[in-house]
């Protein structure tokens, strides 16, 4: 169980700006992402995670859900670094079709992933996605990011290397 405050249920300014951005699906060539203007409540997160895993005992304390793709997969901040602030936690995606993985090692890197034209779902399916940099999202990342700009592929690879057991942990929740 993670110890968190009510303050971590408020979107940080960067995610609030992401929620106001336009995401173009472009008939499958763009970003399939619909950001929320608030995090899911604790109850909504737990309810969804129980349904998704089939495990009635799991709780959603470790996740802050902030968006979804068209098929209902969810993007979330995952408290994978105990004791660190929300903005330093990894961003993950849990899809409706078993797509699952770490998207970025922190919120700042997530902004650069978006700027590179890659959304949460596309991050998990990266081998099948061609990045198309987005000017609006690049400007957003330039305003908020605290990490240097890097290609989405590098950020995703780095995050997967740092959290190689994330999907194993999800498999455990499903039992």
Mean pLDDT of 101-112: 97
Quick one: CA dihedral 143, 72, 37, 45, positive or negative?
A: negative
Sign of the alpha-carbon torsion through 35, 38, 39, 44: negative
Q: What distance in Å separates the CA atoms of residue 23 and residue 114, rounded to the nearest whole number?
A: 10
> Rg of the Cα trace of the chain?
15
Give the sign of the dihedral formed by CA 117, CA 166, CA 147, CA 110: positive
* pLDDT at residue 172 tops 90: no
- Residue 161: CB atoms within 10 Å: 10
| Across 75-84, average pLDDT | 96
Q: What is the dihedral of CA 152, 104, 49, 45, to 10 degrees?
A: -110
Residue 4: predicted pLDDT: 46
Say whether pTM exceeds 0.85.
yes
Residues 6 or more apart whose Cβ sits within 8 Å of residue 39: 9, 10, 11, 64, 65, 66
pLDDT digits (tens, 9 = 90+) for 21-76: 999 888 878 899 999 999 999 999 999 999 988 889 999 999 999 999 999 999 99
Please compute the mean of the pLDDT values over residues 6-15 and round it to a whole number. 81
For 67, the token pair is 């968006």
- Name the phi and psi angles at 93, rounded to 5: -130, 135
Residues 6+ apart with CB under 8 A from 107: 12, 14, 15, 77, 86, 87, 88, 89, 91
């Amino acid at each position: 169980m993670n110890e968190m405050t009510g303050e971590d249920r408020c979107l940080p300014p960067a995610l609030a700006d992401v929620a106001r951005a336009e995401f173009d699906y472009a008939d499958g060539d763009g970003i399939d992402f619909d950001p929320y203007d608030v995090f899911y409540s604790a109850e909504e997160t737990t309810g969804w995670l129980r349904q998704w895993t089939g495990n009635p005992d799991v709780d959603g304390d470790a996740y802050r859900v902030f968006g979804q793709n068209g098929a209902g997969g969810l993007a979330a901040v995952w408290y994978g670094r105990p004791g660190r602030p929300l903005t330093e936690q990894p961003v993950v995606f849990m899809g409706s079709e078993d797509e699952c993985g770490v998207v970025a090692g922190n919120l700042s890197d997530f902004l650069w992933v978006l700027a590179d034209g890659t959304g949460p779902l596309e991050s998990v399916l990266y081998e099948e996605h061609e990045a198309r940099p987005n000017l609006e999202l690049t400007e957003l990342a330039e305003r908020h990011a605290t990490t240097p700009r890097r290609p989405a592929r590098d950020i995703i690879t780095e995050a997967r290397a740092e959290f190689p057991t994330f999907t194993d942990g999800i498999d455990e929740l499903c039992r």
